[in-house]
Structure 1
Amino acid sequence: MAPPHRNPRHVNDLLSAILLGIVEGITEFLPISSTGHLLIAERWLGARSDLFNIAIQAGAILAVTFIYWRTLWSLAVNWRRPETRDYVLKLLVAFLITAALGLVVSKMGFKLPETVTPIAWALVIGGVWMMLAEKLAANRPDHAAISWKVAILVGLAQIVAGVFPGTSRSAATIFVAMLAGTNNRAAATEFAFLVGIPTMYAASGYELLKTVRHGGAAGEDWTGLGVAFVVSTIVAFVAVKWLLGYIRSHRFTPFAIYRIALGVALLLFLPAGG
């Protein structure tokens, strides 16, 4: 009996979907910019639909939701406690700032860059900023509390990261929190990730509604989308679990060096505007 015929194009599309799912899963919550890496990866693997990109991002968010489900449950059932209610209100304020300004940016017609050059510069500048911020934070006493100033600045940092691909939402929010007073990597990271959960669900839901309303679901490769979603979820779960363990005893400096090296490589080896 002859083996079933496999369409080479279908196989290649599925492979690229898996690779993009891996890229999203690794980079979404690590401070190296998922949007920047996906835009770069799509230059070689082929551009995907908006619906596909929403799906793989949703997979990464789902993974972090699984990781923090105990914390989320504790915040929900203990919200009457003053310290818990204070923390929840700060999460809410950070989210609302991002949501309100995000709608403004969307109404202004903001679009992601068509070239890699601005992403490369954002990677380099962000890497240098991370190293400087880490050095400044190292000279301050450990402080894990989240202040209102931290909450407000984290909300603003999410918008900056969204407007400048390559900045990295996690890098911007974590280091803003550390410089604004939460000089504890674990506490700053947890707050940044917890704010990111509703923010990214809301952003993904908003983009999904727009995409479906404009017929973006027509002709979608649902097999590739489903596989990429699962891959992104699994890889993001492993990546974030590793990161949370890593930062307990290590600095973010290797991520900063990686960003600078990647940005410089893109500036040197890609054609101008490529």
Structure 2
Amino acid sequence: MDILQAIILAIIEGITEFLPVSSTGHMIVASSFFGIAHDDFTKLFTIVIQLGTILSVVVLYFKRFFQSLDFYYKLFVAFLPAVFFGLLLNDFIDGLLENPITVAVSLIIGGFILLKVDDWFGGHDDGTEISYLTALKIGLFQCLAMIPGVSRSGASIAGGMTQKLSRTTAAEFSFFLAIPTMLGATVKKSYDYYKAGFELTQDQTYLLIIGNVVGFIVAMIAIKSFIGFLQKHGFKLFGYYRIIAGAIILIIHFFVKPLIII
């Protein structure tokens, strides 16, 4: 991985992490185009730069983190399913992370769901309280994003809307839930990387720093834009985007250039 590839991947991560379009899916496709999808450092990089996007949530919603302990208890409850299924399905998930076809199919299916999610579950106001049971259900929905292309934010936001949360409330809870989820994934992947005997070079350390800084800046802009857009327009544009993106990936893979590097 060179510095230009690192910056491009970080921009993709910053834009897509909190949008319902699957950051993991976009990163897999981009790294496949670059020919670095199978590289161990690339896999570490795509996880660790999520720390920068996590920090953007902390900065933007700084005052919200001084709520009651009940707020953190609910986040913990919502986080638990990811811990359980992440550890249980770790090897299976790693196998999927190199397959753009899985990404494409997931993008298309998720796109059709986003076209209808407002009709199915929209129209709720912001007064709905997030209970512990609601938090747990949102956490279970989030686990669907272990399939590349599903979208962590999309699954958790849709999960919140099924529990009668408004789009905005569901999206903001999804942002908060991203912090323990992505932090846990970063720690786990870093530990696996270290346990396997890999050591970061000085250049790789610099790439991780650059990736986190770029991801932080871009994610700040993306979150602000997304909330405003979501309040006015809902999810349909993201649904159309996912369907088109998934179709393009399939066309490129089967008729132009195979994206799976063996």
TM value normalised by structure 2? 0.87
Q: 1:136 to 1:108 in 2, by over 3 A?
A: closer
| Partner in structure 2 of residue 18 of structure 1 | 7
Which of residues 244, 254, 258 is equivalent to 1:271?
A: 254
Which of 169-178 and 207-216 deviates more?
Answer: 207-216
Quote the Cα distance in structure 2 between the aligned partners of 1:213 and 1:180. Answer: 40
CA gap 1:28/1:141 in 2 versus in 1, 3 angstroms? closer
Percent identity between the two aligned chains: 36
**1:1-274 correspondence to structure 2 within 5 Å:** 13-47=2-36, 49=41, 50-72=43-65, 74-75=66-67, 78-79=68-69, 85=70, 87-106=71-90, 110-138=94-122, 140-142=123-125, 144-162=128-146, 164-182=147-165, 184-219=166-201, 221-271=204-254, 274=259
Task: Write the letter of the residue equivalent to 1:51.
Answer: L
Greater share of helix residues, 1 or 2? Answer: 2
Unmatched segments (≥5 aa) in structure 2? none
For residue 113 of structure 1, report the CA deviation from its aligned partner.
Answer: 4.0
- RMSD of aligned alpha carbons: 2.1
CA contact (8 A) 1:51 1:217 kept: no
Task: Decide whether the 8 Å contact of 1:149 with 1:180 is kept in 2.
Answer: no
**Structure 1 residues 225 and 260, CA gap change in structure 2 (3 angstroms):** same
Q: Distance in 2 between matches of 1:204 and 1:257?
A: 31
User: What stretches of structure 1 of length at least 5 have no aligned partner?
Assistant: 1-11, 80-84
C-alpha separation in 1, matches of 2:174 and 2:137: 11
Q: Which has the larger radius of gyration?
A: 1
The TM-score normalised by the length of structure 1 is 0.84
Q: Is the 8 A contact 2:111 2:242 kept in 1?
A: yes
Aligned equivalents of 2:176 and 2:3: distance in 1?
Answer: 32
Which 4+ runs in 1 deviate beyond 6 A?
Answer: none
The 1:56/1:88 distance shift into structure 2, 3 A limit, reads: closer
